[in-house]
Chains A and B, each alone.
Chain A
Amino acid sequence: MTDSRWVGRSYETAPYEVTEQSIRDYMAAVGDLREDGELIAPPTFAMVYGFDAYWQLWTDQEVALDVAHLVHGEQRFSFQRPVRPGDRIRTTGRLIAINTRGDMELVTFELKARDAEDRPVSDGTALFIIRKP
């Protein structure tokens, strides 16, 4: 069981520099290849520019989530504006709840992404499920 005293801990990514290549690599990986004149990232690219916040949570040795038994249970995103090459995005993730349901542990992680001018880009909420081994 993860210690509930870590609720409230937050993690910030370094600024993620969005490039045409990073968007195209993501589009190729998921097979979402449609584009118009202007290149706009698929909205779920939020998982890419924000990924380091998730990674910091998963690898935090003090919180010590049992990542071998962790699965992504639920995800919510809100998009305040489209993401284009040249954007510099910083994401802050915060561990906001640890609950138990039966023999599962539920970890809620909230994310806020902002651009170089500190304007909102997207928000996210992830629910991770840790199955007891």
Chain B
Amino acid sequence: MKTMSTLDFEHVSPGLALPPLTKHVTVDQIRQYAEASGDRNPIHLDETFARSAGLPGVIAHGMLTMAFANQMVTDWLGDRSLLKSLHGRFAGMVLPGDDVTCSGSVASKDDETRRVVINLVVTNQRGEKVFNKGVAEAEFSPQKEQ
């Protein structure tokens, strides 16, 4: 079990890049996600059905890609409860065998509200964006009295 330690708000500054996160997507992971999420839409599970729907084959759930983006941000924050919002567009399909990389950077920081805005994007192994216009907002706990 990996443990988390919370990021220090004072160490955050605009332009700071988050540690990127790369994931190799497999048929097994898509099936496992379908079971865990309840989303058993056949475009994610049935190769024949997916092709008949005009897709190149089964595709990963968009929400799996968004979960990767979520993880990149919360791994960096060190505390899942700091994440207040997450938004983005599913710009391209993710297929089994793809390697997707989440990257992001701090867009702004507000010392009054202790809120931090992060811009993020997920690209595949060809550099094509599969999740774009991503924005996450985090709010740090009030500063402890010295």
Chain A residues engaging chain B, CB cutoff 8 angstroms: 22, 25-26, 28-36, 40-44, 47-48, 51-52, 54-55, 58, 67-69, 71-79, 81-82, 131, 133
B84 lies within 8 A of A34 (CB): no
A34 lies within 8 A of B4 (CB): yes
B3 lies within 8 A of A35 (CB): yes
The 7 lowest CB-CB distance pairs between A and B, nearest first, are A72-B62, A29-B36, A30-B67, A82-B81, A76-B87, A32-B71, A29-B32
Q: Which B residues are in CB contact (< 8 Å) with A43?
A: 70, 74, 80, 83, 86
Task: Count B-side interface residues using an 8 Å CB cutoff.
Answer: 41
Q: Which B residues are in CB contact (< 8 Å) with A67?
A: 41
A-B contact count (CB 8 A): 119
B80 lies within 8 A of A40 (CB): yes
Contacts A/B (CB < 8 Å), 19 sampled: A25-B36, A29-B29, A31-B29, A32-B74, A32-B75, A34-B4, A35-B1, A35-B4, A42-B74, A44-B67, A47-B37, A48-B36, A58-B41, A72-B62, A75-B62, A75-B87, A77-B87, A79-B85, A81-B81
Q: Which B residues are in CB contact (< 8 Å) with A42?
A: 67, 70-71, 74, 80
A28 lies within 8 A of B32 (CB): yes
- Tell me if B39 counts as interface (CB < 8 A to partner A): yes
* Minimum CB–CB distance for B26 against chain A, Å: 11
